[in-house]
């Protein structure tokens, strides 16, 4: 049978089949980590051991079921083979056991040393710390009398020594959270400092084992060395190159490129939050995608093969992750990009969901405390929304608007629809202008990120060139800051909505109803407009145009055969008619 020609674009618009085999493993790792990090040591040990035994038993049962004889042909096959189901359950139990082992190992290291005793006593001591995170501005404290409190900064660090009364230093390896004055904002990762502080306990589900409230500025004992020193030099060069820019544009560019938010003012941070643009100040999968796309394009222009391009992109990914720092958001983005590169190397279509599930599982095993991080949840949900919803929504919107505009609109719509309930757990109200702000900011995010990264790499060798690149990138960040401040000042910047878990569940239910009811509403509008073609306006989309009457090519085959028979009959009888007419008197 002969088939008609393929419809243009059908191959590209056809959705890839969903591969959900690793989704249960990710869910098991997430739930197991969320429970185990808050459990006591005996309970976590018992849970990890039980999961390991269950995984071994289920794996043996799965291998035995695969060796069993096949059912006869008359028996209908089951929807899922027993061996596959048992193997999936065994993988879930195994990953829970790995998460439990990671929790116990990390907890044992953190509980060792003198810091837990200091936390129990609640006394002050001089600590030697190594900075491990980017300093961030702490929220201002509530002052009922209206007085302005001095700004406070929060820094992730690791206690490597505790000084005793006699002057001896006891070694330690305990992660802590330091709260200090503005002097802590100038520290770089890898710096070794000494500070006097009072320790307080933290929640069991927090990866930091103590909260250190410092007294006075830190005393720098050693500057960063090795790779940390090189990263600090590059980040400092970017800040120097952005100094001639305006306050908002110059402060936002380091955050857009490497996640450095130390120069952001509280007013700009609040404006970015109110308009749903806060994700632009943290390194995410979008930054990684832009860097990998730029490196891959340059490698393709150089004539390198696919495998070499993937290798070069992998090296660039490692360098960018080291430049941005070992924050959880950077690790999530880097690992997702690495798994994506593996999928590209394997040339498998539709490998986005398995890559996301594998990246999330590996991250949860390496750092189980991510399971209680809102940033981790938002990152995973946003990536899943882009993989599952952005493409079909863009195809549906392309019937109403140009395709590039449909794609640009579908991306923030999908991310906001999925992440909205989680964001509601953090802030009251729903950002009404988040989709519009992200749509207007999208065209400048890519060029500003690439130009800012080029300025970072150029600053050590050519400072004037770095200033020029930063100025070009600052045009985009200035536009983003203008959007944030204008949106935050709008009367409908935030829609009132109940907060807490009830509000999040209500918003999720409303989103599901809206998304599921949208196709029905479109069909109803299409039918109503098609029934009254005379009243349609000239700018109606083609998808709403009434179906034209069938032409000659659309008539049934029987009608075409009848028409051809009549034409042959008329053609065969025409000579006899002409002869009889000539012979008539």
Residue 370 corresponds to which tokens in the numbers above? 């991510």
How many Å apart are CA 329 and CA 174, to the nearest integer? 21
* pLDDT for 537: 43
Cβ atoms of 165 and 217 closer than 8 Å: no
DSSP codes, 371-392: GG-HHHHHHHHHHHHIIIIIHH
How many Å apart are CA 119 and CA 204, to the nearest integer? 13
Which runs of E-coded beta strand occur in 78-209? 124-131, 136-137, 153-163, 169-180, 192-200
Number of H helices, E strands in the chain: 19, 9
Assign 432 to helix, strand or coil.
Answer: coil
Residues of the chain with pLDDT under 70: 1-17, 65-81, 140-149, 285-286, 328, 336-337, 339-351, 518, 520-522, 525-526, 529-585
Q: What is the pTM of this model?
A: 0.76
Residue 340 corresponds to which tokens in the numbers above? 């994506």
Burial class of 266 by CB neighbour count within 10 A (0 to 12, 13 to 18, 19+): exposed
Q: How many CB atoms lie within 10 A of CB 385?
A: 21
Residue 441 corresponds to which tokens in the numbers above? 């900011």
Query: Which residue in 259, 260, 281, 258 sits closest to 270, CA to CA?
Result: 281
How many Å apart are CA 336 and CA 268, to the nearest integer? 29
Residue 249 corresponds to which tokens in the numbers above? 């544009």
* pLDDT for 238: 93
Query: Which residue in 244, 242, 264, 154 sits closest to 484, CA to CA?
Result: 264
How many Å apart are CA 21 and CA 25, to the nearest integer? 8
* pLDDT for 407: 83
Q: What is the pLDDT of residues 490-514, one digit of tens each?
A: 887 777 888 778 888 888 888 888 8
How are beta strands 192-200 and 494-495 bridged, if at all? unpaired
Cβ atoms of 129 and 193 closer than 8 Å: yes
Beta pairing partners, 171: 161
């Amino acid at each position: 049978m002969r088939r008609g020609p393929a419809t243009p674009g059908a191959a590209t618009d056809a959705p890839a089949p969903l591969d959900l085999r690793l989704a249960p493993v990710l869910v098991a790792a997430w739930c197991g980590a969320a429970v185990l990090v808050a459990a006591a040591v005996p309970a976590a040990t018992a849970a990890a051991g039980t999961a390991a035994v269950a995984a071994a038993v289920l794996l043996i049962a799965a291998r035995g079921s695969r060796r069993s004889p096949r059912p006869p042909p008359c028996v209908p096959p089951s929807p899922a083979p027993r061996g596959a189901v048992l193997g999936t359950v065994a993988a879930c139990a195994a990953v829970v056991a790995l998460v439990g082992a990671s929790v116990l190992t990390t907890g044992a290291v953190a509980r060792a040393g003198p810091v837990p005793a200091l936390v129990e006593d609640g006394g002050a001591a001089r600590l030697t710390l190594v900075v491990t995170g980017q300093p961030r501005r702490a929220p201002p404290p509530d002052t009922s009398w209206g007085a302005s409190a001095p700004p406070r900064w929060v820094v992730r660090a690791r206690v490597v020594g505790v000084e005793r009364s006699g002057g001896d230093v006891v070694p330690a390896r305990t992660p802590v959270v330091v709260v200090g004055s503005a002097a802590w904002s100038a520290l770089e990762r890898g710096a070794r400092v000494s500070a006097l502080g009072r320790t307080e306990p933290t929640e069991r589900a927090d990866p930091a084992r103590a909260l250190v409230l410092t007294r006075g500025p830190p005393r720098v004992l050693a500057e960063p060395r090795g790779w940390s020193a090189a990263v600090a030099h590059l980040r400092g060069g970017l800040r120097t190159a952005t100094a001639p820019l305006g306050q908002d544009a110059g402060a936002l560019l380091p955050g857009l490129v490497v996640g450095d938010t130390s120069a952001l003012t509280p007013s700009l941070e609040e404006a970015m939050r109110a308009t749903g643009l806060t994700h632009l100040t943290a390194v995410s999968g979008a930054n990684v995608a832009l860097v990998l796309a730029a490196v891959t394009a340059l490698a393709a222009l150089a004539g390198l093969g696919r495998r070499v391009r993937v290798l070069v992109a992998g090296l660039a990914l490692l360098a960018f992750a080291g430049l941005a720092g070992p924050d959880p958001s950077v690790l999530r983005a880097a690992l997702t990009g690495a798994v994506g590169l593996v999928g590209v190397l394997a040339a498998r279509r539709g490998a986005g969901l398995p890559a996301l599930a594998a990246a999330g599982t590996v991250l949860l095993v390496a750092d189980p405390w991510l399971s209680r991080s809102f940033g981790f949840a938002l990152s995973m949900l946003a990536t899943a929304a882009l993989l599952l919803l952005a493409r079909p929504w863009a195809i549906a919107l392309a019937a109403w608007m140009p395709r590039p505009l449909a794609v640009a609109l579908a991306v923030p719509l999908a991310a906001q629809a999925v992440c909205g309930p989680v964001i509601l757990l953090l802030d009251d109200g729903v950002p009404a202008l988040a989709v519009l702000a992200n749509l207007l900011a999208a065209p400048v995010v890519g060029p500003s990120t690439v130009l800012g990264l080029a300025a970072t790499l150029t600053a050590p060798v050519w400072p004037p060139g770095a200033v020029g690149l930063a100025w070009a990138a600052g045009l985009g960040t200035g536009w983003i800051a203008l959007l944030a401040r204008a949106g935050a000042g709008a009367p409908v910047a935030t829609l009132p909505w109940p907060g807490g878990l009830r509000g999040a569940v209500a918003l999720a239910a409303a989103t599901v109803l809206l998304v599921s009811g949208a196709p029905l509403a479109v069909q109803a509008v299409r039918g109503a407009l098609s029934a009254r073609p005379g009243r349609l306006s000239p700018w109606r989309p083609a998808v709403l145009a009434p179906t034209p009457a069938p032409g000659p090519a659309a008539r049934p085959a029987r009608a075409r055969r009848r028409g051809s028979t009549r034409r042959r009959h008329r053609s065969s009888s025409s000579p006899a008619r002409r002869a009889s007419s000539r012979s008539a008197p």
